[in-house]
Amino acid sequence: MTGLEDFGATIVDNLQNRTSGPLGFRFIMQPTIAVLLAVRDGIGDGRSGARPYMLEILFPSEGRWPALKEGLKATNRVIILAFVLDMVYQIFVLKTFHPGAAFVIALFLAFIPYTLARGPVGRLATTYFASKSDGT
């Protein structure tokens, strides 16, 4: 196995055990917190009329890196918490520590839910604020 295949296998092999074992609550709490942050920021996007977050990230624009930085800044505490909890889980349950796997899990639990939720919330907020300004 190559290093990348081994890295992926480590994450996949342990992922099922991580959801039901000790500290499994984080697989619900951390994405929930990330989505709540996305709702807050998506409403802000709707008020300001900003371009949808996912479009800003995925398609070439001068706002890609600032948008990514803003998203990481909004979720940095959740990402750090996810990393620390996974580190604790690995050390005490698996008796080993793979920082790369902990980082991937942290992004999976925090930044990805944030990114997926912020755009649709921003769209809904834009529609809501546009209809409100039209008087309907």
Position with higher pLDDT, 9 vs 28: 28
What is the value of pTM for the model shown?
Answer: 0.78
| Token pair 């039901």: residue | 20
Cβ neighbours of 76 (radius 10 Å)? 12
Summarised one tens digit per residue, pLDDT across range 11-28 is 666 566 666 667 778 888
Residue 61 has pLDDT above 90, yes or no: no
pLDDT score at 125: 92
pLDDT score at 15: 63
Report the C-alpha gap between 76 and 80 in whole angstroms: 6
pLDDT score at 113: 92
Parse the chain into domains and list their residue ranges. 24-134
Amino acid at 62: E
Report the C-alpha gap between 39 and 116 in whole angstroms: 11
Asked if 47 and 133 count as a contact pair (C-beta separation under 8 A), the reply is no
Cβ neighbours of 16 (radius 10 Å)? 9
When the pLDDT of each residue in the chain is averaged and rounded to a whole number, the result is 83
Report the C-alpha gap between 39 and 37 in whole angstroms: 5
Confidence of residue 131 (pLDDT cuts 50, 70, 90): confident
pLDDT score at 121: 94
Position with higher pLDDT, 136 vs 87: 87
Helix (H, G, I), strand (E, B) or coil at 52: coil
Mean pLDDT of 24-53: 88
